[in-house]
Amino acid sequence: MKTEELLINMGPVHPSTHGVLRFKLIMDGEIIKKCDIVMGYLHRGTEKLGEMKTYLQFVPYTDRLDYISAFPNNYAYVKAVEELAGIEVPLRAEYIRVLTLELNRVVNHLVMLGSLLLDLGASTMIMYGFRERENALQLFEMLCGARMTFNYIRPGGVREDLPEGFMPKLNEFIKDMEYRIDDYEQLISGNEIFMMRMKNIGVLSAKEAISYGMTGPSLRGHGVNYDIRKVEPYSVYPDLDFRACVRNECDSFARYMVRIDEMRESLHILRQVVDSMPEGKPTSQAKYGIAPMTGAPTAVSTYFPRIFTPPPGEVYSRIEAPKGELGFYVVSDGTIKPYRIKIRSPSFCNLTAIPKMVEGLMIPDLIAAFGTIDVVLGDVDR
């Protein structure tokens, strides 16, 4: 019987592609033979815009890269600028930054679990996930006034100190979250249908995963113990006690379990940060670079100057974002605007592994494997 290969387009407008991503699938019946990914439907030209704005004016653009977890994006860029310019940050600001980063990691994994299960057909987890997320977003709103695009971590420290009433509410959130994670595990992990759809789907060996540039929780599901917070520590992570979560079976179920473990570790880190928050100033008060614009008030300014010039040079700095290794390569030529900013985004590099992972699977398996890689289109297309 003669059969033909079919070209099926899972187009940019699709409920399960987490945004505007297009798959061109060459199928033999129900089995995928080759998968081509076409992207660029959300390419907004962030890197070119970076050359037209000053260092501080670029921080809101970094919020909109990985819009679900915006604090790590802010922090990766600000860390690169601070390394380039040699700015010292007070200790209290570092603790506040770590607090926001870990809280954002919990929020990110909740959204990932919710949308993964929504793609598989279960709509309970996304309701639970967004309910917890509302509590966390109210905490963020207390801190900086915005729910999703924060613009809070600036060169020199953070924008404002913690408001009153923040710590008791945060403690309540942490206590609440622990019971909820146990709830979710009971709901999902032992579910027969979930296990059948996730075990042995999307298998890649560890060597191949490293060669395809995977990083972050997706790589730790393949048994490679690489967590930037342990290998090249930054900020106050050397003083905190936590472990990197690794699983050894290289399939989608392992990548999912790593994220449940990471949520628990983040709550553990949050408790340590709350207990040992030092006193001090939230931004650096150093006078740096050229003076701020004319017309500035004569009283002592409490913020780091808005316009400053780092010395000419280049730097690449990376952090452990909830999705993987997020890095910024900043080139400065001694003026108030950067010469070139290049963004190494985790979703773009994790996505290179999908065509290899789904050969021989069916379309529902593609959706399950793709959901565990945790891709956000703002990061892929920039």
Partner 1 sequence: MNPAEEIKQLFPGSVVSTGIQTNKPLAIIKKEDLLIIAEKVKEMGFDNLSLITGIDYRDRFEIIYNFFSYAKKQNLVLKVILDHNNPEIDSLESHWKVADWLERETYDLVGIKFRGHPNLKRILLPDGWIGHPLRKDYDMTVDQFVTIGEDGEDIVSTDGSNLLRR
Partner 2 sequence: MDPLTIDTTKIKITKKKPVTALDKLNDTGLISTVLAAREREGLILFSTIDQVFNWARLSSLWPVTSGLACCAIEMMATAMAHHDVARFGMEIFRASPRQADLMFVAGTVTKRMAPRVKQLYEMMAEPKWVISVGSCANTGGPYHDSYSVLKGVDLIIPVDVYIPGCPPRPEAWIYGIIQLREKIKNKGYGAKWGLNK
Q: Please identify which residue in 15, 30, 45, 165 interacts with partner 1, judged by CB under 8 A.
A: 45
| Minimum CB–partner distance for residue 295 and partner 1 (Å) | 31
Q: Binding to partner 1 by residue 223, rule CB under 8 A? A: no
42-78 exposure pattern, b = at least 16 Cβ within 10 A, e = fewer: beeebeeebeebebbebbebbbbbbebbbbbbbbbbb
User: What does the alpha-carbon distance between residue 372 and residue 379 come to, in Å, rounded to a whole number?
Assistant: 16
- The option from partner 2, partner 1, none interacting with 251 (CB < 5 to 8 A, set by class) reads none
Determine what percent of the chain falls in helix, strand and coil, rounding each to the nearest 5. 45, 15, 40
Give the amino acid at 79. K
Residue closer to partner 2 by CB (options 133, 247) is 133
User: Facing residues of 332 across strands?
Assistant: 313
Q: Please identify which residue in 12, 60, 313, 364 interacts with partner 1, judged by CB under 8 A.
A: 313
Which residues, other chains included, contact 245 with Cβ-Cβ below 8 Å and sequence gap of 6+? 217, 220, 258, 261, 262, 265
Q: Output the six-digit token pair for 148.
A: 């999703």
DSSP string computed for 187-243:
HHTT-HHHHHHHTTSS---HHHHHHTT--THHHHTTT----HHHHS--TTGGGS---
- The option from partner 1, partner 2, none interacting with 232 (CB < 5 to 8 A, set by class) reads partner 1
Strand 324-332 to strand 340-344: parallel, antiparallel, or no bridges (unpaired)?
antiparallel
| Minimum CB–partner distance for residue 114 and partner 2 (Å) | 9
Residue closer to partner 1 by CB (options 116, 246) is 246
Q: Binding to partner 1 by residue 46, rule CB under 8 A? A: no
- The option from partner 2, partner 1, none interacting with 274 (CB < 5 to 8 A, set by class) reads none
Region 74-103 residues binding partner 1, contact defined as CB under 8 A: 83-84
What residue ranges bind partner 2 (CB under 8 A)?
A: 11-15, 19-20, 40-45, 48-49, 52, 60-61, 64, 67-68, 111, 126-127, 130-131, 133-134, 147-149, 377-378
User: Which residue, among 134, 128, 132, 102, has the nearest Cα to 114 in the 3D structure?
Assistant: 128
- The option from partner 1, partner 2, none interacting with 217 (CB < 5 to 8 A, set by class) reads none
User: What does the alpha-carbon distance between residue 45 and residue 36 come to, in Å, rounded to a whole number?
Assistant: 23
- The option from partner 1, partner 2, none interacting with 230 (CB < 5 to 8 A, set by class) reads none
Q: Which residues bind partner 1 (CB under 8 A)?
A: 9, 39-40, 43, 45, 47-48, 83-84, 208, 210-213, 215, 224, 226, 231-232, 313-316, 318, 325, 327, 329, 331, 339-340, 342, 344, 348-349, 351-352, 381-382
